[in-house]
Structure 1
Amino acid sequence: MDGTSFPGQHTTTTRVTTSNVSVQTNLRYDPLYLRTLPGLVKVVQIVCNMIGFLCVILAKYSHLARGSFFKSLSGIGFWFTGIMLLLYVFHVAEKFFRIPWLKIELGFCTLWTLLYLIASILCVDYASLDAAFGAAGFFGFCAMFAYGFDAYLKFQAVRSGELAQGDRVVIQQMRTSTSVA
């Protein structure tokens, strides 16, 4: 041989990562959710959807395509956000924690941000004909910002591996073993 040999001692380090999910699967009413940032954002979204919808309904030209588009957008946004709010307030999302609620909401909020941008521009374009369209456009832009902020919050939560409700505990352990040859 060339005189070099394998060292007499060898150290192996193993990193073990375990993830535990801590959820309560019972349904319960939790009004404190409405005081959290995601809860407040959902309330703002619901209010903006409802007021924008009412503004377009009261507009003289609400029968036009842009009015129908805004009404459909705000109506679907109202119901989806309202149902999600109920799922969180009654901890249904925690009971069914395996459903990717955050990813569903991220997709919805991103799509609604873009659609509200389009619908609000279309409404503001008719503000000179009817002030109700201008008001609807304003609340549409407010809803757009609320959905955009919510999409940002959901993106951050998905990226960090959070659950919609409940806790995920990640434990990392280092194991070192030494063997002598």
Structure 2
Amino acid sequence: MEDCPRSPTVTTITSSSCSEDLVSSALQYDKDFIKTIPGILIFLEIVLGLLVWTLIAGTEYFRVSAFGWVMFVAVFYWVLTVFFLILYLTMAYTRIPQVPWATVGLFFNSSAFILYFISAVVNAVSVSHGFQGKHEYNRWAASSFLAFMVTLCYAGSVYFSFQSWRSQGQGA
């Protein structure tokens, strides 16, 4: 093998879309989002959803299998709603324009509304069925009420998601 002298020059190839992404890679903070009605709804979904699953988790919910479903829905949508809040606050969704965010938001909020409504009904029906004592009854009853409140918040989010989806020409 012979030693070939290496060139100190490095050649790079960049495309215009790649360099534009590099220039605008810093995330921004949208401090006004939380002041909008959709932002307030997301905040309420997070706070009330947290109360739903913590009230149930503080009891022996595993004795009534229906509460397992309620816990799954509450925790699953709580985590995803926190993710969407971070996505909206940091405006990270603007960095991925290939994703139809209006459609994703509409699907997410619609599925959250439907599954939260079902879990709120299951929660309400299971409160008297799973009666263990006054402490559990009060927590399960409170979680049932709050689950219906979260359902209403998601219904509002469905409305605003639908308006956003329709305004972007997705519904035409």
Could you list the structure 1 runs, at least 4 aligned residues long, displaced by more than 3 angstroms after superposition. 60-63
Report matched runs for 1:12-31 at 5 Å.
25=24, 26-31=26-31
1:110-144: per-residue Cα shift (whole Å, max 9, x none)? Answer: 11111111111111123332222111111110111
Aligned residue for 2:138? 131
Amino acid across the alignment from 2:120: S
Q: Deviation of residue 162 (structure 1)?
A: 7.0
Task: State percent identity of aligned pairs.
Answer: 21
Aligned-partner residue type, residue 167 of structure 2: S
Structure having the larger proportion of residues in helix: 2
Report if aligned partners of 2:66, 2:126 keep a CA contact under 8 Å in 1. no
Is the CA contact 2:67–2:126 (under 8 Å) kept in the aligned structure 1?
no
TM-score in terms of structure 2 length: 0.74
Structure having the higher Rg: 1
Structure 1 residue 97, shift from structure 2 partner = 2.6
Return the alpha-carbon distance in structure 2 between the equivalents of residues 139 and 64 of structure 1.
19
Taking the aligned partners of 1:31 and 1:157, their CA distance within structure 2 comes to: 20
Amino acid of the structure 1 residue aligned with 2:156: F
Partner of 2:32: 32
Q: CA shift at 1:78, angstroms?
A: 0.9
Q: 2:151 aligns with which of 128, 140, 144?
A: 144
Q: Which has the higher contact order (CA 8 A, sep 6+)?
A: 1
Unmatched 5+ residue regions in structure 1?
Answer: 1-23, 164-181
2:87 aligned partner, one-letter code: L
User: How much has 1:155 moved relative to structure 2?
Assistant: 0.7
Taking the aligned partners of 1:62 and 1:136, their CA distance within structure 2 comes to 15
Alignment gaps of 5+ in structure 2: 1-22, 132-136
Q: Write the mapping of 1:91-170 to structure 2, written as runs, cut at 5 A.
A: 91-128=91-128, 129=131, 130-161=137-168
Cα RMSD over matched residues? 2.0
Residues 80-115 of structure 1, C-alpha deviations (whole Å, 9 max, x = no match): 111111011111012223311121121111111111
Report which of the two has the higher share of strand: 1
TM-score, with structure 1 as normaliser: 0.71
Letter in 2 for 1:32: D
Query: Cα–Cα, structure 1 residues 126 and 162, in superposed 2: closer, same or farther, change >3 Å?
Result: same
Q: What count of residue pairs does the alignment treat as equivalent?
A: 140
Q: Is the 8 A contact 2:64 2:126 kept in 1?
A: no
Q: Give the corresponding residue for 1:64.
A: 64
